[in-house]
Structure 1
């Protein structure tokens, strides 16, 4: 009889992918499994059958130059801390035996090679080779990224689409984003990101050893998403000039960014801003098996001198000035990853803040975190990593100062504005989940307009007028494109004497991340005089007509300020509010939602009604991972006010599960993009 040899190794992909919840990665030509759980390999023997009494089998598993040799036994007892290989004695086919390989729950993430060797009694050795990709395992209780509920794992590990929240707390914008976890090439690019990192290039052995730890992996990824210190994925640009690349607002998913980065030989993709950095990082972390969600902090402070105070300066007519080095972003977006913090004291496990947007260096490179959310809430600024920086982002106080010719006229303080709302997408639903309470112990969850009173310690305080006046500024409703912006200024004379007041109202356009040293453009203002009787309350109703904000409409923010000056005492008082103008929505309808199954053609319709008082035209782009191959573009002819346009789209789903169909209309005669999305469920055929 011909002697024993291994003719073929079957990686049993379909069975292993289902068992390891990696079915989405079926397009990869490498088996994808999760650590801490066994996977099955079947052997087809040539010649005589395998004889357990005289033959033995060993598996050599290799990650770079690191390797471990594992004897194949008949004991099915696996260890969470050691590699193990075994044959199941029940139903064992010795001509085609199956071997199960189990990795430790703390094995390093990466692309492994293995060598399967059979040794016969006469000393002959027969070998076969294979490869597999090993990811973290949030389903395994012994893994540092274990997250305990199935709906959390579906949302934070497997979900390939989501919502990014932008705008302002009073006028939220839900921007759809495709994480593209399962698009061809994305898995390989996420693994290559680790290989391209400076940590790997400088010391491959140490990098491979450290990849067992999600704290280490997350810091490497946070640094590699931006390109400030390495061959990272994205180049940031907040200049407004995007001619050398892509306007960050036009990206709709992570897949095209990661593919472009890989295809360019790992040259940075131009350009990103905070939500792009965070969304791409979320893709990488979910692909690697680390639970991740995108988080928005509204009114996020960048405290340059770490004094927990942000200073904002205004002129005596309400124009915001460029004196401060501090800044407040109307919204800033980062990610949270779920992990056990074995490097810290107990109680710091769970969600950790990671921020790939390059702002400040951490350990010498532009990355941020992982900072335990619990440490931020408890003000444990002594703990790793970057807790003081994130604490300031959600807790700094705002000092609003009115200046004239280098002299302070008024100072008021606001302790509620920064971090007024911190949120993420809800589990299983396309809506907001408020997580402010995770970060802040005492937090008013009601979003209200802020009134300003001359403070007790104001540098302009006069004993008899320090409590003489109160003013508030309130938007009547959330502003909508094509409609007037209606707001109310309420002025209260708190004294038993008449007052003559100068009133200055000023609206300036700004980007969401207004940078220190940058002038804001005033596009609307009005000035007047009012008289207040003793103890009188006067309400001023104001409107900004659509024609005034037409050229500043879009992703911009508006800073609205009211400054009142007591003509008798020369006292000044300020109230301000920042807001965005909600865009109209695209409507998406699917002809027969209940009939969505893989590989069967279906039709969707995208429609838009022009709410503006002038014609618009532009380019419609439709995308949907798992529903449409790539992106489809349509040019829209001029659409007159009040008219409606429809565009039919062909869908051919290629995988099951919940999918997002998204559309964006880039208007050419207004600097604005109109968006819409629809969640659909693709059933088993």
Structure 2
């Protein structure tokens, strides 16, 4: 009896997929050792599956892709998606569920996959399940070793964070340097702030924020709940969040709020220590929240 197909590798085309997904500015995509795919929900993306010894035969082989989110993935809660590969399926019709098409199977199995516009945002994992048609052999499961990110998609009209004005999206989502207003009422002034949302530390730091939160994985596709979680966790009070606020001028055991020039240094320290960073005031909180929100448009577009 013939054995199941054995997966040799899976390739996500991180650079190629990043262009239509508008994620090509993220540094993680270009890591030479381990490029991380960063995708937006509600769009198609291309992956390749290579098998050992023999190629995919649609008349004999069954291939299923399983996409998992969180510690206990559940299809009912939207944290588990399944795509059964079929050569007869020529287009993705259902925009609310995971779907897939075969683009080429002459050598590697080249697939077009669709992530639904309500998928939870964050880190996903992929399993490839192979079996033989009309066989009693148990399926073989390949666990892809590298995670990938799915983000909110304000360019997609089916996503709750959709925003039709592309000019504003260029500013809100794709511009990484801006101005923050500081100072008391009547004498406030603008100062440059490096939001740095595409830096390699930002996505992992945002994931750490959610690990510290009580927001369940199934709720991480809801932009309102995600936004509230970020707003809550940017402050260390009661939640072991990102920043410790201080206004008394005593900053010797940390960094003076006025010394920060951007969000990257704050979030890098938070990621490295996994502890609240000292110290921040209103504009520092504002800058870090904005970077985290931009990530979540990256999570969300607000």
Q: TM-score, normalised by structure 1?
A: 0.39
Q: Which runs of 5+ in 1 are unaligned?
A: 201-206, 293-336, 339-685
Equivalent in the alignment of 1:284: 292
Determine if contact 1:63/1:112 at 8 Å carries over to the other structure.
yes
Equivalent in the alignment of 2:97: 82
- Taking the aligned partners of 1:291 and 1:259, their CA distance within structure 2 comes to 19
1:170, CA displacement in angstroms? Answer: 6.8
Quickly say closer, same or farther: Cα 1:254–1:39, change in 2 above 3 A.
Answer: same
- Taking the aligned partners of 1:149 and 1:53, their CA distance within structure 2 comes to 47
1:111, CA displacement in angstroms? Answer: 0.6
Equivalent in the alignment of 2:83: 70
1:6, CA displacement in angstroms? Answer: 2.1
Quickly say closer, same or farther: Cα 1:220–1:8, change in 2 above 3 A.
Answer: same
- Taking the aligned partners of 1:80 and 1:229, their CA distance within structure 2 comes to 40
Equivalent in the alignment of 1:213: 222
Is the partner of 1:23 in helix, strand or coil? coil
Equivalent in the alignment of 1:61: 67
- Taking the aligned partners of 2:136 and 2:157, their CA distance within structure 1 comes to 41
1:162, CA displacement in angstroms? Answer: 0.6
Is the partner of 2:85 in helix, strand or coil? strand
Equivalent in the alignment of 1:23: 24
Is the partner of 1:16 in helix, strand or coil? helix
Determine if contact 1:180/1:254 at 8 Å carries over to the other structure.
yes
1:41 pairs with one of 27, 44, 47: 47
- Taking the aligned partners of 2:142 and 2:37, their CA distance within structure 1 comes to 16
1:129 to 2:137 alignment: no
1:548-559 equivalences under 5 Å are: none
Larger-gyration structure (1/2) = 1
- Taking the aligned partners of 2:187 and 2:102, their CA distance within structure 1 comes to 60
1:276, CA displacement in angstroms? Answer: 0.4
> Alpha-carbon deviations, 1:644-669, whole Å to 9, x = none?
xxxxxxxxxxxxxxxxxxxxxxxxxx
1:158, CA displacement in angstroms? Answer: 1.6
1:250 to 2:259 alignment: yes
Determine if contact 1:235/1:272 at 8 Å carries over to the other structure.
yes
1:177, CA displacement in angstroms? Answer: 0.4
- Taking the aligned partners of 2:111 and 2:8, their CA distance within structure 1 comes to 15
- Taking the aligned partners of 2:186 and 2:82, their CA distance within structure 1 comes to 60
Equivalent in the alignment of 1:6: 7
- Taking the aligned partners of 1:250 and 1:134, their CA distance within structure 2 comes to 33
1:8, CA displacement in angstroms? Answer: 1.8
1:96 to 2:127 alignment: no
1:362-401 equivalences under 5 Å are: none
Equivalent in the alignment of 1:273: 281
1:161 to 2:177 alignment: yes
1:50 pairs with one of 56, 81, 90: 56
Count of matched residue pairs: 282
1:537-616 equivalences under 5 Å are: none
Determine if contact 2:223/2:299 at 8 Å carries over to the other structure.
no
> Alpha-carbon deviations, 1:232-258, whole Å to 9, x = none?
000111112222221111100101101
Determine if contact 1:147/1:291 at 8 Å carries over to the other structure.
no
Indicate the structure with greater helix content.
2
Equivalent in the alignment of 1:138: 154
Quickly say closer, same or farther: Cα 1:240–1:30, change in 2 above 3 A.
Answer: same
1:68, CA displacement in angstroms? Answer: 3.1
- Taking the aligned partners of 1:144 and 1:152, their CA distance within structure 2 comes to 17
Indicate the structure with greater strand content.
1
Determine if contact 1:70/1:84 at 8 Å carries over to the other structure.
yes
- Taking the aligned partners of 1:223 and 1:168, their CA distance within structure 2 comes to 23
Is the partner of 1:154 in helix, strand or coil? helix
Equivalent in the alignment of 2:77: none
1:114 to 2:126 alignment: yes
Is the partner of 1:27 in helix, strand or coil? helix
Q: Which runs of 5+ in 2 are unaligned?
A: 30-34, 74-79
Quickly say closer, same or farther: Cα 1:175–1:20, change in 2 above 3 A.
Answer: same
Quickly say closer, same or farther: Cα 1:175–1:195, change in 2 above 3 A.
Answer: same
Q: TM-score, normalised by structure 2?
A: 0.86
Is the partner of 2:229 in helix, strand or coil? helix
Is the partner of 2:161 in helix, strand or coil? coil
1:24, CA displacement in angstroms? Answer: 1.9
